[in-house]
Amino acid sequence: MLEKSKIAVVIPYYNAAKHIKHVVGKLPDFIDAIYVVDDCSPEPLPNVLTENTKIVIIKNKTNLGVGGATKEGFKKAITDSMDIVVKLDADDQMDTSFIPALVEPLMSKTAEYAKGNRFRDFKSLNKMPFVRKAGNLILSFLVKAATGYWNNFDPTNGFFAINVNTLKQLEFTNISNRYYFETSLIAELYFQEARIKDISMPAIYGDETSSMSVWKMPFVFLPRLCKTFIKRIVKSYFLYDFNMSSVYLLLGIPLFLFGFTYGLYTWWFYSSKAIFAPTGTIMLVTLTIILGFQLLLQAIHYDITKAPKPVK
């Protein structure tokens, strides 16, 4: 089956001269094309790469970031009429032996996108630094809510395979060029109802260090996740469709916000006068908060059941 599909690998390259040769050398024989995208790297690509006839070197005129470089590889794969594209980093922290497992769901048409999941391998998970593990867990949950893929985990994993026909349907300008690349890609896949398959694999850590500090991540991701979440909800439940979840949101949000804000005002007003609030006021606050919260829970439940799921 592998021989029936044209499979390409995209490798964004930036300052990884001591790893890139080993990464390319480990690729399976069934790979038809290897797109190495030089993202204006200060470290030039090793000349030995030109000896491999499968390698196509793409040079960016300006530094676009890992997402921007990967998108250039995507465009080349579309031009060359590839069937599947695998994205692989140049730092040798991704096990290429998992490529067959990544492309299999796409070839069997049980999914349009398959990615690694480092949180199903409990042995290697114990080796993951605690700060990184905690950050990934929190970030994964937030990305689930923002993108709508509630059944998938480790969404920021950059080791993935995607169907080229699905790529053709995406608006590349909506996909981030840098740290938000994987999340914005998944967010765009949601509107195509693309099914995502998680492939369990271990985390590999070498001598590379991330260019983003842990303390910077909330400031980088949270505003974008909020924007992605709002955009998805508006499009999914008010522009592209209108269903019971839309009704839950229309009623639940104002009821909950009214009860919460009016409750705070009531608490401040009556406590400042050192008197008890009327029973009717307390009941109004309590009922609107409870009713609004229940409606929002129903909307969340509907959203979870609506998430695209791969065929088992």
Phi-psi region of 159 (alpha: psi -120 to 50; beta: other; left: phi over 0): beta
Place of tokens 């406590």: 271
Strand arrangement of the beta sheet that strand 7-13 belongs to = 55-59, 33-38, 7-13, 84-87, 160-163, 113-117, 196-200
Q: How confident is the model at residue 75 (pLDDT cuts 50, 70, 90)?
A: very high
Cβ atoms of residues 158 and 124 within 8 Å: no
> Considering the entire predicted model, what is its pTM?
0.88
pLDDT in tens, 185-208: 999 999 999 999 999 988 766 555
CB atoms near residue 224 (< 10 Å): 16
Residues 79, 30, 195: CA angle, nearest 5 degrees: 65
Interacting residues of 171 by C-beta distance below 8 A, sequence separation 6+: 188
pLDDT in tens, 12-69: 999 999 999 999 999 999 999 999 999 999 999 998 888 889 999 999 999 999 999 9
Q: What is the pLDDT of residue 135?
A: 75
Answer whether residue 133 shows pLDDT above 80.
no
Q: What is the pLDDT of residue 10?
A: 98
Joined together, the tokens standing for residue 247 give 């009704």
Residue 199: φ, ψ to 5°? -115, 120
Answer whether residue 162 shows pLDDT above 90.
yes
Nearest residue to 70 (alpha-carbon basis) of 12, 17, 1, 138 = 12
Nearest residue to 226 (alpha-carbon basis) of 288, 138, 143, 311 = 143
Answer whether residue 121 shows pLDDT above 80.
no
Q: What is the pLDDT of residue 161?
A: 97
Q: What is the pLDDT of residue 124?
A: 62
Q: What is the CA radius of gyration of the chain?
A: 23
Mean pLDDT for all residues in the chain: 90
- Region 254-265 average pLDDT: 96
pLDDT in tens, 81-109: 999 999 999 998 899 999 999 999 999 99
Nearest residue to 73 (alpha-carbon basis) of 98, 56, 52, 97 = 56
Q: What is the pLDDT of residue 156?
A: 83
pLDDT in tens, 266-293: 999 999 988 888 999 999 999 999 999 9
Cβ atoms of residues 214 and 100 within 8 Å: no
